[in-house]
Chains A and B, each alone.
Chain A
Amino acid sequence: MTEIRMLSTSGILGYGYAEESLKIGMAREPHAIGADGGSTDPGPHYLGAGTSFTSRLSVKRDLKLMLLAAMAAKIPCIIGTAGGAGGEPHLQDTAALVREIAREEKLSFRMALIHAEPDRAMLREAVTAGRVKALVKLPPLDAGTIDRAERIVAMMGPEPIARALDGGAQVILCGRSSDPAQWAAVALRAGIPPAVAWYAGKMLECGAEPAVPKEPDCLLVTLRDDHLVCEPPNPIRRCTPLSVANFALHENASPIHHTEPGGMLDTSEVSFDPVSDRAVKVSGMRWMPAAQYTVKLEGVERDGYRAITICGTRDPVLIGQIDDYLATHRAKVSAKAAAFGVPPSAYRMAVRVYGKDGVMADWEPTPAVTGHELGFIIEVVGDTQDIADAVLAMARTSLLHADFPGRLCKEGNMAFPFSPSDIALGPLYRFSVFHTLALEDPCAIFPIEYESV
Chain B
Amino acid sequence: MARIREIAQVCKSKNAGPFIVTIDVLFEDHALYHRVKATGVLNAALFAKLYGVAEEDVLFTHYDAAAAFKASLPRLVAAGGFGDTDVYGAQQHAPLLDVEIPLNEAG
Interface residues, chain A, CB within 8 Å of chain B?
40-45, 135-138, 242, 245-246, 248-256, 267-272, 284, 303-304, 348, 350, 352, 358-363, 365, 379, 381, 428-431, 434
Contacts and interface: CB of A to CB of B under 8 A. Distances in A.
A250 B14 contact: yes
Given A256-B61, A360-B85, 7 more contacts: A136-B19, A254-B72, A255-B70, A350-B83, A362-B76, A381-B82, A431-B79
A41 B20 CA distance: 11
A360 B15 contact: no
Contacts of B24: 246, 249, 255
B65 A358 contact: no
Contact of B87 (A43, A138, A271): A43
* B interface bracket (residues with beta carbon within 8 Å of A): 35 or more
Nearest to A381: B82
A136 B66 contact: no
Given A249-B68, A360-B85, A434 B80 contact: no
A253 B87 contact: no
A429 B80 contact: yes
Given A136-B74, A245-B68, A359-B91, A251 B14 contact: yes
A363 B83 contact: no
B73 to A, nearest CB: 9
A245 B66 contact: yes
B65 A249 contact: no
18 contacts: A40-B79, A43-B18, A43-B79, A43-B80, A136-B19, A136-B74, A246-B24, A249-B68, A251-B14, A254-B72, A255-B63, A255-B68, A267-B65, A268-B63, A360-B86, A379-B82, A381-B82, A430-B78
B50 interface: yes
Contact of B65 (A245, A250, A428): A245
A75 B106 CA distance: 55
